[in-house]
A and B are shown apart, each in its own frame.
Chain A
Amino acid sequence: MNKTRKLLILAGMLAVALLLGGCSGKGFVPTSWPGVTLSESGDSLYIAHNLGIYRVSQTSGTQQLAFPAEGINGATYFSAPVFTDDGQMIAASYNNHLYSFDAANGALNWEFKARSRFIASPLLLDGVLYAPNADGNLYAISLAGELLNTFEAGDGLWATPATDGEAIFLSSMDSKVYSLAPGSLNVNWETDAGGAIVSTPVIDVESGLLYVGTFNGEVLGISLEVGRIEWRAETEAWIWGPPALVDGTLYVGDLDGNLYAFEATGTGEPVWTIQLDGQIAGAPLVTSDGLYIGTSNGNFYGIDLNGTLRFTKYFEDVLLLGTPTLVEDLILVGSDGADGVLMAFNANGVVQWEFTPEK
C-alpha cells in the first residue's frame, strides 16, 4: 500500500473520529457553567470551571492560585466548592468523584467515588457532607471521606440540598421533593411536584414554605412541615433555575426567557412578567436597584423591581447562564465563551473585568 493511500485512510478515520467525538470546529464544548464561592475573608473568589478551581482577586479578577496542586486525570469541576472549618476545600467532579483538597496548598486529602457524576455541590451540615449524585443517591460523607449513609431517590440528583437546620430538603429529577432527617436520612415526607427539578429549593422559614420550579413549567410553594403543596403557579416554559425570594416576592426565569414575579405567599399570584431573549438557567440577583440576570443568548439584563427593562448588554458567542452574585458593588456572572469564564459588571451593566484561567 503506498504512502498516499495510508494517509487517506488515516485522514478518513480522523474525520470519523472527529465527527463522533464532537469536534465541531469550535474547540472546547462546555458541559456546564462555572460555580463561584466567595472566600470567608471576602476578598477572593473560588471559581470552578472545567479542569480546575481558581482563586481569583475579587477586585481585579486576577488569578491567585489554581487547584488541585497536581492535575487529576479526567476530573472536571463546575460546581461551587465548599469550605470546611478544618481547612478543606470540597470539590464535586464530573468524573464521579468528590475530592477534598487542602484549601491552603491544593494537596489532595481524600476522594470518594460514586457511580455517576457529582453535578452539584454538597451541603455541609453539622460536620457531614450531603453530596447529591446523578446516580440518584444522596451520600452522607464524613469530613474524613467515609460514607456514613445513603438515601436513594428515584432519579438523578443535580441540585444541592437545602436545610433549615432541622431537615434536609432535596429536589430530584424523579419529580419529587424530599424532606430528610439529617444523619439517618429517614424520609420525613416526600411530595410529587409534577416535573423534574434540577435546582435547590428556596426555604422561607418565616412563611413555613419552600419554593421550587419544575420542568413541567410550574412554581410551587410547599409546606416545610408536612410537604403539602400550598400553591402552584404556571409558567410559559420549563424552569431550570431556583427562584429568588426577596421581601415576599419570588422572581424566577424559564427556558423561553420569561422572567416572572409571583407573590410568595397566599396563592402565588403573578405580579409581572417580562420577556427576555434566551434561556434563563440561574436565579436573578435582586438588589435595591433592581434585578440582574443573564441568558444563553449572551444578554445581560438590568430590570427594575416593577418589571421594567433598565438595560440590555449583549456579548457575542457568550452564554451567561449562572446565577449572578453580588460581591460588594460588583455583579458576577458565570459565562462560557471565548473570553473568560466569569464576568464582573457594575450596576449599569458595564464590564469591570473578565476572568480567564491561566494556561
Chain B
Amino acid sequence: MLEPIINFLTNILVWVYDVLGHNFGLAIIVFTILIRLATAPLTKAQLESSKKMQELQGSKKYQDMQKKYKSDPQKLQQEQAKLFQEMGINPLAGCLPTLVQFPIIIGLYWSITRVLAASPHQMLILMKGMWLSNAANLLPINNHFLWMDLSQPERLVLDFIPANLPLIGAGIPVLAILVWITSYLQSKMMTPTSNNPNDQTAAMTRSMTTIMPLMIAYITFLYSAGLGLYFLAGNLFSIGQYALMGKLNIKNLIPGRAKK
C-alpha cells in the first residue's frame, strides 16, 4: 500500500543526496526538514484542533456534563456531540491530519532504510525502484557521516572508553541518547497541561510522553544510525516549529510548575 510513496520518497532522497555533494547524513537532515515543511500546515491544523478540544474539556460546562451523566454513557455521548456541534468543533479534526501525515512519515522512514541498502536483497529492491537517470553513479550511497556508519547502529568509540561496556558493547550510543532527550523534550514541551485531575486523556498523554521517547531511543539503539539521524532531525524541527508558533510549554519541564 505504501510502496508508491516509499518509491517516490526514495528517489527524491537520492536526488537530494546527489545535490548535496554525496553526503547522506546531510541529505537525511535536509530531506526530513523538507518533508516536515510540506506537512507543516497539517500540523498547524492539528494543533489548533487539539487546543480547542483542550479548552472545551477544561470548561465548567463540559465537566458538569461529565458528572451529570456519569452513570449514563449513552446520554453523555449524545450531549457531548451536541456540545461539539454548538461550539463548532469536529472531534475528528485532530486525528485527520495525523492520518494524512502518518503514511508520509512511515514512507520517509522506509525510504531512508531502503537507500541505506545494507544487504543484497535491499540493494536489489532499491535498484528496481530507481528512476533517476544517473542512479548507477550514485549507488551505493556513501554511508559515512561524522563518526558514523549510517547503515550500522551508532556507537561513539573513544580510546579511553572500555571496548566492552555492559549492555551497550563497544562505544557510547550518542545518537540514541540525543534522540531520547529530544523526544522527551519535544513531547513534554508540546503537551498541553490539563486542569482536570480526572482527565483520562491527560493521563494517557503522560504515559505516552514517558514511553514513546524510550521506545524511539531503543529503535535508534538497535537499528541503523541513518534512522536515528532522521528521528533527531524530526524532533529538533518539531521543537523549532512549535517554538515559532508560540506553542511550547517550557514550564512543563519543571516539576510542579506545569502551565495552568
Same complex: yes
From the candidates A17, A216, A238, name the one contacting B215 in the complex (CB within 8 A). A17
Decide: A196 near B106, CB < 8 A? Known: A5-B204, A13-B212.
no
Shortest distance between the CB of B153 and any CB in chain A (Å): 10
Residues of chain A in range 7-66 having any CB-CB distance to chain B below 8 Å: 9, 13, 17, 19-20, 22, 29-33
Complex contacts, A255 vs chain B, CB 8 Å: 124, 127-128
Interface segment out of the listed A101-109, A111-119, A204-212, A343-351: A111-119
Complex contacts, A5 vs chain B, CB 8 Å: 200, 204
Residues 294-333 of chain A, each 1 if its beta carbon lies under 8 Å from chain B, else 0: 0010000000000000000000000001000000000000
Q: In the complex the two chains form, is B124's CB within 8 Å of A1's CB? A: no
Q: In the complex the two chains form, is B121's CB within 8 Å of A115's CB? A: no
Interface status of A156 (Cβ within 8 A of chain B): yes
- Find the B residue at minimum CB distance from A216: B136
Interface status of A288 (Cβ within 8 A of chain B): no
Interface status of A134 (Cβ within 8 A of chain B): yes
CA–CA, A5 and B152, complex, Å: 36
Grouping DSSP codes into helix (H, G, I), strand (E, B) and loop, the B interface class, with mixed when no group exceeds half, is helix
From the candidates B121, B128, B140, B200, name the one contacting A1 in the complex (CB within 8 A). B200
Complex contacts, A296 vs chain B, CB 8 Å: 124, 128
Q: In the complex the two chains form, is B120's CB within 8 Å of A198's CB? A: yes
Residues 202-238 of chain B, each 1 if its beta carbon lies under 8 Å from chain A, else 0: 0110011001100100010000000000000000000
Interface status of B137 (Cβ within 8 A of chain A): yes
Complex contacts, A195 vs chain B, CB 8 Å: 136-137
Grouping DSSP codes into helix (H, G, I), strand (E, B) and loop, the A interface class, with mixed when no group exceeds half, is loop
Q: In the complex the two chains form, is A116's CB within 8 Å of B203's CB? A: no
- Find the A residue at minimum CB distance from B212: A13
From the candidates B106, B110, B119, B211, name the one contacting A117 in the complex (CB within 8 A). B119
Interface status of B118 (Cβ within 8 A of chain A): yes
Q: In the complex the two chains form, is A117's CB within 8 Å of B118's CB? A: yes
Complex contacts, A240 vs chain B, CB 8 Å: 124
Q: In the complex the two chains form, is A156's CB within 8 Å of B140's CB? A: yes
Residues of chain B in range 163-215 having any CB-CB distance to chain A below 8 Å: 200, 203-204, 207-208, 211-212, 215
From the candidates B109, B140, B200, name the one contacting A196 in the complex (CB within 8 A). B140
- Find the B residue at minimum CB distance from A217: B136
Q: In the complex the two chains form, is A155's CB within 8 Å of B140's CB? A: yes
Interface status of B151 (Cβ within 8 A of chain A): yes
Shortest distance between the CB of B194 and any CB in chain A (Å): 13
Interface status of A135 (Cβ within 8 A of chain B): yes
Q: What 6 pairs between A and B have smallest CB-CB spacing?
A: A31-B119, A32-B120, A1-B203, A215-B136, A216-B136, A173-B140
Q: Which residues of A are at the interface with B, using a C-beta cutoff of 8 A?
A: 1-2, 5, 9, 13, 17, 19-20, 22, 29-33, 78, 94, 115-117, 119, 134-135, 155-156, 158, 173, 195-196, 198, 215-217, 238, 240, 255, 279, 281, 296, 321, 336
Apart from A17-B215, A116-B152, A279-B124, list 18 A-B contacts with CB within 8 A.
A2-B200, A5-B204, A9-B208, A13-B211, A17-B219, A20-B109, A31-B119, A32-B121, A94-B119, A116-B149, A134-B118, A155-B140, A156-B140, A173-B140, A198-B123, A216-B137, A296-B124, A296-B128
